Structure 1
Amino acid sequence: MTVPHFKTKYLREEEEEDPTCSNPCCFFCTMKQSDPTIRSSRLAKCFKEMPLFDDEEHVLVLSGLWNIAMTHPDDPEFPSLGIFECMASFIHKALTNPDWLLKDQNIYIPYYAAHIIGSYTMNKPEFAEKAAKSGVIPPLLDLLRGKLTWVEQRVAVRALGHLASYDRTIEYVAKFETEVVESSMNLASTCLDVVYTNLIRIKSEERKSRRLVKYQCDLLTRGAIVGVEMENRKAEEWASQLQCWSIHLLNCFAMKNLPKSVSLICNKDNNFSFLKDLCSMWGGLINKSSPAGFGLIRILCYSKTARRSVAESKQVVQSLCNLSRSSDDWQYIGIDCLLLLLQDPETKSKVIGIAAPFLMDLIEIRALRGRTRVGDSIARSLLYTYKSKSNVKDEALMKIWDLKIERKSREGSMSSEELKQRWVSAELLKQQGNERFWFGEVEAAMAKYTDALDLCPLKMRKERVVLYSNRAQSHLLVRNADAAISDCTRALSLCDPVNSHAKSLWRRSQAYDMKGMARESLMDCIVFVDVNGRMKSGKDARIKVPYYAARMISKQMSATWLFSAARSKVLFKNVDQDGEMDGSNEREEHGDYDATVIKTQSSALGGLATILEEPLMKRSKCRTRNIERTVWRRRRGFAAAPAMARAKTR
């Protein structure tokens, strides 16, 4: 069985009607009719009568209508002639008559029908209103409940999301508010497990023998003969869309601030489990335009009731903090959510202790995604309730007060000569720090960089980027990942534009990898490759990926694979009584994965190159390894390397 393709030659009006066709309601013959009046009346009759009789060409007709709806979604001809009633009837027939559904190629009909509804309601609110009045919502809800398979759920949730996004039609969907919200939440949380279990982990031979699986693969590839790898890639894309569209449907209800919807999403009785799940729902590299779970959390943060729920979950707040201090495209969403929580007196006390150390690193951002004075907004939100330093008790807030209030005021009263002298002194300290670093005295180098940062004027942003980045490299060598992340973030916040300093991105990627934060490490590494490549090769040149960065990306892509959690669940379920893995399918299709390997956190410095900023003098690349070896020996009480010792005695 193959997916039927629409034969566009039947749509050419210049062709004459087939004289051998005995069907008075033949869709293809009707489309060839040159008289608009006759064509419209016949089309209306076709849409009304098609679901009432069986015909092998129904699948071909719906495939053609799907093609037209995708390419011309704003054309009012078919919506005005009863196409929505026709599609709703086909879905209802498929759900109530299983014998008909499994006959010929009718199994494709519900998918095409729901897709056609979603395409025509995508842009035009008047089409959406006509569809809602035509009764498409109940059959779409049946598909959303999972009465067929996940591919029909995908197009059903897409269509319902379009209907719920308009003010004129959301009331029709809101009549089923509880069921829609609960179904969407369940779908968003479980769809990846379902797709992985029912498709991804099934071998190629089994896919050909199982009718339901084969028809899903045919829909994924549009009937083209491709390998399992291509089918899996397409399934990954569709599964991500299914999750993102489910979240979009929830967004539509959350934006209306409907109490029942907000209460269901922020269910405290379930320990905020869905809110926690949202933090792991990543639009990511597959759906770049979708903020996925974090987008819904930001919508919820505009609701007073939902803000309290978000603030009570430390895991959600921590995830927002991690997002705000990353190079993710949705970094600003994390910052927005934290600011909304800090501006609410009821939630500020619950959040400020967790958020302040993270936001402290962002207070010097000038602009982010079209927003200006972002850092000043963060500082004001954190210091809003304090009028003097004596009232500030938190260490992070004291540092913010010193930087944004006292030091800024102090440097504002200095002459240009005094500021220049401070810069010269800072530059000298930086060079001394570099020298100490090269000799393996990492702690001494950190102290020099810290003194230089205290002296360097605030307006010397580029110089401070270098100092923060150098100190971050020192923190990496002593394996202080948190301090390295903080310094790299400060360096990247000082850049214009934000997150454009290649070496800081790479160092933070290493630090995140050291902490086992694969998602953040991956994003930093990808941005590093882009920034570093364009800086070295030119704006329009082909970007060359360094070997060490390619290794990091490969490692983190495996850890953040869309189905990694589902794969882990299957592997753990297949553990037999002897404690051995029974995951032959997974190993064969995706490599020799092991549950312990999946969870292992490896060092960021293990075999990965490090990048040193502005060395005191030109040295060979092997010097960096010598420094790491010297640091290792010093920290364990060994004597310095002989060559280094001889250099000191001369």
Structure 2
Amino acid sequence: MDACKECPYPGCLFCLMKENVAPSKRRSSIAQLFKQLPERDEPGQVMAISGLWNAALLRPTDGEFIELGIFECMAALIFKGIRDRKWLASDQNIFIPYYAAHIIGSYTMIVEEFAIRAVQAKVIPALLELLKGKLTWVEQRVALRALGHLATYESTFSYILDRREILDVAMKLAADALDIVYTQFYRFVDRRLEYHQDLLTRGLGGVEMESRKAEEWASQLQCWSLQLINCFAFREEYLAVVCGNKEFLCKLLGMWGGLVNESSPAGIGLLRSICRESSGRVAVADCPGVVNGLCNVARSSDDWQYMAVDCLVWLVQDVASRDKVLDQAACALVDLTELSTMSGDQKKLGDLIATTLLRNPAEQSQASETRLALNEVAAAQQRMKLERNEDKDDLRIRKAAAMLLRLEGNARFASGDIHGAACKYTEALELCPLKARKQRASIYSNRAQCHLLSQNNQAAISDSTRALCLQKTHRDSLWRRAQAYEMEGLPKESLLDGIMYMIECSQKKNRKSNVPDYIEALIKKQMRATWLFKEASQKWGAIEYRYQNWNDNQSSSHDESEWETASDDS
């Protein structure tokens, strides 16, 4: 073994890879190493595991190491780290269970055949031990990632089902993830475990970068938990378990992930899966707070707005849930009846919403506001039919008359007659042809401003939403709805509208790209209000710096006392 002459770790992976021998012999040596590695105690093992992790990240579809027994090796190393704390605390071994779980997750991410080999190698029991918190939250995060990949394949999900406790732990993690990361890492800046710091930033960027990365990982811990739960939610027998936990169900819309995890549908994605089944819709209908939250998301700039609309439409369509949700949902959905599309497969979405609302117009048990909303939808449908046959000259005259009423409303608004201005805008909307979408968007937006000044926030949200359905990028409506949501105590919805307004400002031609001070102030305020750890900090206390020069005084080694702290915290 010439490659090993100067190597301090005889028989290491890198030496075996460099050996100038026949491929079959090299493969045999690597397979033997995978068998022996969990039994070895010499230093330097983390280098081999780290190298394998990099290989898995770079070549997740290369099956050579899988054939040679890498999954069995990683599962054994995870168990060793859990059972042998002395070994774990020596050298750099504290990193090994984390890397081992990451290797399993990387190789099972794309190729289903690899996932099958992984479950046959019994990686699930090892990952489950990490998921339960036998080590720390960073290992829980990568265990979730790996189990989530295994759960996405039909061929391997049955192995997940055999461990029903995975669902229970995932639900608990989804609910507690932010508290866990805040209390075990984020809050006590001077007592953060060094190996956690190394994993987060590789020692670069300082405390600020470390904290930002911790927020990102905390969001992933929660969102990956939800993704795993989502795989169970598509099976009715397990959907009952998810829906049976009302407290969890009511928290889902608050599991947002914030701006650090914009790509994950998070809690609302799971709610959409739940609402696909009638039993799920009945459970959601029994949670008025959830339905109200769906109404707010449906009328917002959230990327997942269409998911909220889907949920509301399904709830209203289902006879088992319609009566329970109609009074809440109708007033929100009526604002969306002129929505064209939101995602590629949803065309003329507003027509579907209108048809759904008018499915049974003879219902008698509705509140007066609901009846008015449904009558408004029916009248708009009838008006559209009439306008299709109306003379074009008559339509132009009505459009011009509506413009004059709008100008009269503007004059009244300027003079301080807010109520009179709103009345004129209402007259203009009644006269303006439905096809004059741009003009009607401006009138709705002006009336929304009147509602804002009258402190009628829900009406302002309603009119702003209608304007945005007619003209998606109507800047004034975004700003007015952002203000209305702020006054309603809904910082997330306010923030997202504010960001959209900022984007529209920066893209407007012939204007300075600087963000207006007022919108910058609102965005900063709402970002503080929607900070990922906001609730955790209120529950557990503010961030603390106990030892001024703690990091400067620490040894670079990961000794047993540091591990014991990690174990106790978890």
TM-score (norm 2): 0.92
Q: 1:439, CA displacement in angstroms?
A: 1.0
Give 2:484's match in structure 1, choosing from 511, 514, 524.
511
Contact 2:357–2:374 (CA<8 Å) still a contact in 1?
Answer: yes
CA drift of 1:387 comes to 7.1
Kindly indicate whether the alpha-carbon contact (under 8 Å) linking 1:519 and 1:556 is maintained by their aligned counterparts in 2: yes
- How far does the alpha carbon of each residue in 1:353-398 deviate from its partner, in whole angstroms, 9 at most, with x for none? 1100000100001111222100000001110123799x99711111
Instruction: Give, as a single letter, the amino acid of the residue that structure 2 aligns with 1:514.
Output: M
Q: Does 1:214 align with 2:189?
A: no
User: Deviation at 1:343?
Assistant: 1.5
Cα pair distance change 1:82/1:525, threshold 3 Å:
same
Partner amino acid, structure 2, of 1:233: R
Distance in 1, matches of 2:431 and 2:88, equals: 76
Of 357, 362, 387, which residue of structure 2 is paired with 1:411?
387
Deviations 1:573-610 (A, max 9, x none): xxxxxxxxxx5728999xxxxxxxxxxxxxxxxxxxxx
Q: Contact 2:187–2:543 at 8 Å: present in 1 too?
A: no
- For the structure 1 residues 40 and 175, does the alpha-carbon distance in structure 2 shift closer, same or farther, using more than 3 Å as the test? same
User: 1:400 maps to which residue?
Assistant: 377
CA RMSD of aligned residues (A): 2.2
Q: Which residues of 2 match residues 229-248 of structure 1 at below 5 A?
A: 229-248=208-227
- 1:585 pairs with 2:538: no
Answer yes or no: is 1:72 the counterpart of 2:94: no
Q: How far does the alpha carbon of each residue in 1:219-244 deviate from its partner, in whole angstroms, 9 at most, with x for none? A: 1112x243211110000000001111
1:384 maps to 359
1:346 correspondence with 2:320: yes
Question: Is 1:493 matched with 2:478?
Answer: no
Contact 2:98/2:139 (CA < 8 Å) preserved in 1?
A: yes
Equivalent position of 1:25 in the other structure: 11
Inter-CA distance 16–141: structure 2 relative to 1 (3 Å threshold):
same
The 1:588–1:486 alpha-carbon spacing in structure 2 relative to 1, beyond 3 Å, is farther
Which residue number in structure 2 is paired with residue 134 of structure 1? 121
State the distance in 2 between where 1:468 and 1:23 align: 74
SS of structure 2 residue aligned to 1:545: coil
For structure 2, the residue ranges without an aligned partner over 5 or more in a row are 549-570
Q: Of the candidates 437, 442, 449, which is equivalent to residue 466 of structure 1?
A: 442
Cα distance in 1, alignment partners of residues 148 and 100 from structure 2:
16
Match of 2:278 in 1: 304
Residues 388 and 147 of structure 1: CA distance in aligned 2, closer, same or farther (over 3 Å): closer
CA contact (8 A) 2:9 2:43 kept: no
Task: State how far apart, in whole Å, the 2-side matches of 1:167 and 1:57 are.
Answer: 38
Q: 1 CA distance for matches of 2:385 and 2:350?
A: 17
Considering fraction of residues, name the structure with more helix. 2
Higher relative contact order (CA 8 A, sep 6+): 2
Identity %: 49
Deviation of 1:544 (Å): 2.6
| Equivalent residue in structure 2 for 1:570, among 533, 540, 555 | 540
Between 242-251 and 17-26, the greater mean CA deviation after superposition: 17-26
Query: What is the TM-score normalised by the length of structure 1?
Result: 0.81
What amino acid maps onto 2:359 in structure 1? Y
* Larger CA deviation: 291-300 vs 31-40: 31-40
Amino acid at match of 2:188: I
Separation in structure 1 between the aligned mates of residue 363 and residue 285 of structure 2, nearest angstrom: 27
Q: Answer yes or no: is the 8 Å Cα contact 1:338–1:355 preserved in 2.
A: yes
Please tell me whether the aligned partners of residues 413 and 421 of structure 2 are also in contact (alpha carbons under 8 angstroms).
yes
Is the contact between residue 460 and residue 484 of structure 2 (CA under 8 Å) also seen in structure 1?
Answer: yes
2:175 pairs with 1:189: yes
Please report how far the alpha carbon of residue 258 of structure 1 lies from its aligned counterpart in structure 2 after TM superposition: 4.1
1:359 and 1:588, CA in 2 relative to 1: closer, same or farther beyond 3 A?
farther
**Contact 1:446-1:474 at 8 Å conserved across structures:** yes
Alignment length (residue pairs): 544
* Cα distance between partner residues in 2 of 1:22 and 1:534: 59
Structure 1 window deviating more from structure 2 (71-80 vs 515-524): it is 71-80
Q: Distance in 1 between matches of 2:546 and 2:376?
A: 51
Superposed displacement of residue 119, structure 1: 0.5
- C-alpha deviation, 1:289, in angstroms: 1.5
Does structure 1 retain, via aligned residues, the 8 Å contact 2:448–2:463? yes
Structure 1: how far apart are the matches of 2:249 and 2:14? 50
The question of 1:180 aligning with 2:166 is answered yes
**Within the alignment, does 1:49 sit opposite 2:70 as a pair?**
no
Q: Does 2:72 align with 1:85? A: yes
CA distance in 2: counterparts of 1:522 and 1:586, whole angstroms: 30
Distance 1:302 1:285 in 2: 27
1:319 aligns with 2:289: no
Q: Is the 8 A contact 2:268 2:307 kept in 1?
A: yes
Kept after mapping to 1: 8 A contact 2:200/2:214: yes
Measure how far apart 1:413 and its partner are. Answer: 3.2
Distance in 1, Cα, partners of 2:313 & 2:443: 28
Contact 2:398 2:432 in 1 (8 A): yes
Report if aligned partners of 1:530, 1:543 keep a CA contact under 8 Å in 2. Answer: no
**Can you give the 5+ residue segments of structure 1 that lack an aligned partner in the other structure?**
1-14, 208-212, 572-582, 590-650
CA shift digits 1:245-301 (9 cap, x unpaired)? 00010111112x140x2122111xx5x100111110013321222100000011111
| Cα distance in 2, alignment partners of residues 127 and 552 from structure 1 | 49
Residue aligning to 1:648? none
Match of 2:349 in 1: 374
Going from structure 1 to structure 2, the CA distance change for 1:135 and 1:466 (only over 3 Å counts) comes to same
